[in-house]
A and B are shown apart, each in its own frame.
Chain A
Amino acid sequence: MKNQNDTVDIVIIEDDPNDAELITRVFRKHNLANKIILLEDGAEALDFLFAEGKYAQNSTVLSPKVVLLDLKLPKVNGIEVLQRIKSDERTKNIPVVVLTSSSEDRDIKAAYDLGVNSYVTKPIKFDDFAQVVSELRLYWLLLNKPSESA
């Protein structure tokens, strides 16, 4: 799934393979042309976003339209990833939406403190889940205008 020198539209950072697949489906269903990249843990996510580690050969200019970020990630957790994204000049303007099962106040506040653009909880039932992802797509891919130079 390496995109070298290509632009990426959507970055999904999600460790649960079922959720990852279901989320990706919703995006693909509406627009096959969207470039989606799926990362399964926090460390890989950071490598990708900063063109380090196994993604060192990528160009660093990515500017995805949105990053969907789960909080419960192996290796480096979601809050840390968020913190790295929002504190680095190169990436801080990328819209990041936390999409997680946690509705704990502590997590919500931590995310906002770090500058998250939006915080959305994953619904328990599948129908609602699909609906939420669909609305996320509608908002962040169609409605929101990202900055061209990330």
Chain B
Amino acid sequence: MIINEPIPVEKLDPDQIEIVIVEDSSKVAELILRVVRRLNLAGRYILIKDGGEALDYLFAQTNYVNAAVRRTPRVVFLDLKLPGIDGLEVLRRVKLDERTKNLPVVVLSSSIQENDIKTAYDLGVNSYVTKPNQSEELSSVVEELVRYWLLLNKMPAR
């Protein structure tokens, strides 16, 4: 895996939000954003800190009602501990709704509880990844995640 190489711009749809990051910890968010920016994805991601707001964005409702929901992101990174509606509930609603059930959702959580893991899979999560404690490790995990879901994983044409 070649780290530190920016994602070739032509591999992405122009002006398209590719990554939705739902994470309430500013420290973790900052770290994720740093990685995302380094990979040349400025403008391709959206950071949301609250479960309810995440649902609003994905369903283009309330504050996001004008956002054209033709923007199907390539992946949603979802923390479990969120203010407002919690991560598992967000996951449940996203995977139940026709409009969003095919969105790749990756839980990125510090929880290693088998309960959480099983529930996430029961709800249809695509992948469950635990957040390492060290920031360098978290950095490389995020990078690997972004590369996998943006470059390797294929989605149907929008």
Contacts and interface: CB of A to CB of B under 8 A. Distances in A.
Nearest to B149: A118
A108 B156 contact: yes
B81 to A, nearest CB: 17
Q: How large is the interface on B (under 10, 10 to 19, 20 to 34, 35 or more residues)?
A: 20 to 34
Given A117-B126, A118-B127, A119-B155, A138 B102 contact: no
Interface in B114-158: 114, 117-118, 120-122, 124, 126-130, 141, 144-145, 147-148, 152-157
Contacts of A118: 104, 126-127, 148, 152-153
Interface of B (DSSP majority class): mixed
Contact of B144 (A93, A95, A112, A143): A143
B130 A145 contact: yes
A31 interface: no
B3 interface: no
Nearest to A106: B156
A117 B49 CA distance: 25
Contacts of A5: none
B152 A120 contact: yes
Interface in A131-150: 132, 135-136, 138-139, 143-149
Given A121-B154, A135-B1, A147 B118 contact: yes
B156 A138 contact: no
Interface in A92-125: 92-93, 95, 103, 105, 108-109, 112-113, 115, 117-121
A92 B121 CA distance: 8
Nearest to A112: B102
Given A118-B126, A135-B148, A147 B114 contact: yes
Contacts of A136: 152
Contact of B148 (A103, A112, A139, A149): A139
Interface of A: 92-93, 95, 103, 105, 108-109, 112-113, 115, 117-121, 132, 135-136, 138-139, 143-149
Given A143-B141, A148-B117, 7 more contacts: A132-B152, A138-B1, A145-B128, A145-B129, A146-B128, A147-B118, A149-B114
